Structures are given as C-alpha cells and as structure tokens.
C-alpha cells in the first residue's frame, strides 16, 4: 500500500512539473487577433494603394507591434482572471524563443527602411522577398516556442516555414505564380489565413481540454 501511495504521489508531482513547464494560456484568442489584424492590414494596404517598400515595411511592422501588444493584454487578462502571475517561467521561455527572430526581422526591416529614405524602392519583387523572410522567421520562432507551448504550435510553425520556402523558390518551382500577387495580399493570406485556421483548431481543442 505504501508503495502504491508513493508511486501515485510521484506521478502527481511529475504531472505538475510537466504542466509547469508548458505555457498554459489559451492561444486561440491570440491567433484570432493576429489573423484578423493581418487580413484587415492586407485589405487596407490594397485599398490605400501601398506600393512603396519602405511604407510596406513600416506598415506591417506597426501591424506586428499591435498584435504583440494585443496578445500581451489578452494574456494579462487571462492571468488576472485566474489570479495567477503574468510573467511566469514558461512565458519567459516562450519570449526567449521568439527573441532572436524578432531581432533579426527587426534589424533587416530597419536597415531597408533607412536605406529607402534617400532612394525609395518600388514594392514589386523585393516585397515578396520580405514576405517570404518574415514567414520563414516567424515559422522558426513558432517551432522553437513549440517546445514550451501545448497544442501543435510546432505544426503551425512548419506551415509558415513551408509557405516561406514556397515564396522563396516560387520563381523556379511554381513558375512565378506567387510573384504575380501583391505582397500585401500574400501577407494577408499567409499570416491571416494560417492564424485564423489555427485559432479555430485551438478554440475547440482548448475547450475540450478545459472540459476534461
């Protein structure tokens, strides 16, 4: 009997440690937020006739910042609701997983923005390269963070990586099909579409886990 009691307690402790190692916040609201902003941004950019590379980078940088702030507010609201700390150890791990990606993407974008002050460049062509690079970097960040987040975030990361690769090799592999599309539309399809699909999936799986 003592042996069974000890095994049960060890199992409980192991389960608690495993749960503590994962980021337990509901991810679906953040996915819906990111997808909605990306789609709205793509529509707004097309309607507004955004055709300058520098403006393109600044515009999507603002979108990304808005999503980051909005996601932080969602996480804070969840933490307050459950009377738990906001900046937990798992949260710090997820942030550190994304930090290199944020720095690389930010530095590349900033370099091109300042370069465009004196010689503005058209969006066509190089805009697709930026969209592909951002998709690749974001996918790598998600894949890295997937070690600390439940619910198939690594798979979502792979989806972004595959999209980034397809956009990168489009000129040879797909006959330039994606190059015929506006970079803003590509951003809306990739970042908006994938986030919304992930949000729908997470919405139902997270509800199922809470019920269990």
- Classify each residue of 187-200 as buried b or exposed e, where b means 16 or more C-beta atoms within 10 Å of its C-beta: bbbbbbbbbbebbe
pLDDT band at 16 (very low <50, low <70, confident <90, very high): very low
Tokens 């307050």 -> residue: 80
- Answer yes or no: is pLDDT of 212 > 90: no
CA separation for the pair 149, 88 (Å, rounded): 13
CB 46 within 8 A of CB 182: yes
Q: What is the dihedral sign for C-alpha 151, 195, 92, 82? A: negative
CB within 8 Å of 43: residues ≥ 6 apart: 188
CB 118 within 8 A of CB 160: no
pLDDT tens for residues 32-79?
999 999 999 999 999 988 888 888 999 999 999 999 999 889 988 888
pLDDT band at 84 (very low <50, low <70, confident <90, very high): confident
In a 3-state reduction of DSSP, which class is residue 211? helix
pLDDT tens for residues 158-211?
999 999 998 888 655 555 677 778 889 999 999 999 999 999 988 887 665 554
Average pLDDT value for residue range 90-117: 83
pLDDT at 171: 55
pLDDT at 32: 95
CA separation for the pair 153, 86 (Å, rounded): 21
pLDDT at 3: 57
- Answer yes or no: is pLDDT of 117 > 80: no
In a 3-state reduction of DSSP, which class is residue 52? strand
Tokens 């798979």 -> residue: 155
CB 68 within 8 A of CB 99: no
Q: What percent helix, strand, coil does the chain show, rounded to 5? A: 80, 0, 20
CB within 8 Å of 137: residues ≥ 6 apart: 101, 104, 105, 164
**% of the chain with per-residue pLDDT over 90:** 30
Q: What is the dihedral sign for C-alpha 50, 106, 36, 130? A: positive
Show me where the domains of the chain are located. Answer: 25-211
């Amino acid at each position: 009997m003592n042996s069974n009691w000890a095994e049960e307690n060890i199992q409980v402790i192991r389960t608690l440690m495993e749960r503590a190692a994962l980021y337990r916040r509901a991810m679906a609201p953040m996915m819906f937020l990111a997808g909605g902003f990306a789609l709205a941004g793509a529509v707004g950019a097309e309607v507004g006739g955004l055709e300058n590379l520098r403006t393109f980078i600044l515009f999507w940088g603002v979108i990304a910042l808005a999503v980051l702030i909005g996601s932080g507010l969602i996480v804070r609201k969840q933490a307050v609701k459950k009377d738990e700390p906001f900046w937990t150890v798992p949260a710090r791990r997820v942030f550190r997983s994304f930090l290199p990606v944020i720095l690389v993407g930010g530095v590349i974008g900033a370099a091109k923005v300042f370069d465009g002050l004196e010689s503005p460049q058209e969006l066509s062509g190089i805009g697709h390269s930026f969209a592909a690079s951002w998709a690749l970097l974001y996918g790598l960040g998600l894949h890295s963070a997937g070690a600390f987040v439940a619910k198939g975030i690594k798979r979502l990361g792979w989806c972004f990586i595959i999209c980034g690769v397809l956009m990168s090799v489009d000129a040879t592999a797909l006959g330039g099909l994606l190059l015929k599309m506006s970079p803003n539309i590509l951003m809306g399809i990739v970042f908006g579409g994938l986030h919304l699909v992930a949000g729908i999936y997470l919405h139902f799986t997270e509800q199922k886990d809470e019920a269990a």
